[in-house]
Amino acid sequence: YQPFINTVFGALESDDTSLMGVAVETIGVIGSSAAGKTALQKQGGAFHHCLESACNVLGQLIRSSPDLKTRALECLASLLSFKGEEASSELLSIIQQWFSLLTRTPTETLNLLNQSTTNPELTVHCAVLRVYQCLAILPWAQVLLNSHPGFNEYLIDRSTENTKEGKEMKFAIVKALVDSPTAMDVFGRVYFVRLREFINEGAFYIRVESSVAFESAE
């Protein structure tokens, strides 16, 4: 339905933030399924230009107010996600292409995501972790994450999460990597063992530092 799609993408450039938020959510719904992703990708050259603009707008919204930032991150997670049985070389190529359109470089996009992990708003924080969970099962994204400064340390650092939701989301990211058939080759055996330890300890594990008091003998 081309007129509807044109209206949705036109709303992304609206000055009305409420309208823009609805447009972002609508794109997320359309692109949440493999059929929706394929349909969007096959709309033709003119639509591809709109799609490129939409991805660019998403990249800009990730820098914006908490409400729009959350909506943009949730939309991005929908565009990146897929069910295991839906995986195909065509679908993975579409997802990678869309990710590359978000900012000038994938590194810049990961920098934006990394900045969002420290956002005090719980909705923003959980939304960006959901994006990481989607990226964790994509071989090309694993390479980007592994090479991104600080990501590996952040992922297994439990001190970054102080809420139930955050702990569960980070656990889901690690589990996605552990379950991935390509993660060990990308991240290396040593780090992969640490990821397995993270899973074995559970989502709510707390390391207890033991101290021993010594008294001098009289």
Residue 57: inside a domain: yes
Number of structural domains in the chain = 1
State the pTM of this model: 0.85
Residue 149: inside a domain: no
Rounded to whole angstroms, the Cα distance separating 74 from 27 reads: 10
Report the amino acid identity of residue 203. Answer: A
Residue 193: inside a domain: no
Residue 192: inside a domain: no
DSSP-based helix, strand, coil % in the chain, nearest 5:
70, 0, 30
Rounded to whole angstroms, the Cα distance separating 156 from 163 reads: 16
Instruction: Copy the structure tokens of residue 174.
Output: 């690690």
Rounded to whole angstroms, the Cα distance separating 26 from 5 reads: 10
For residue 25, the enclosing domain spans: 1-103
pLDDT in tens, the chain (218 residues): 778 877 887 887 778 888 888 888 888 898 899 888 888 777 666 556 666 666 667 677 777 777 788 888 898 899 899 877 777 888 888 899 888 888 888 888 899 888 888 888 888 899 999 999 999 999 999 999 999 999 999 999 999 999 999 999 999 999 999 999 999 999 999 999 999 999 999 988 887 654 445 454 44
Burial 186-210 (b: 16+ CB within 10 A, else e): bbeeebbeebeebeeeebeeeeeee
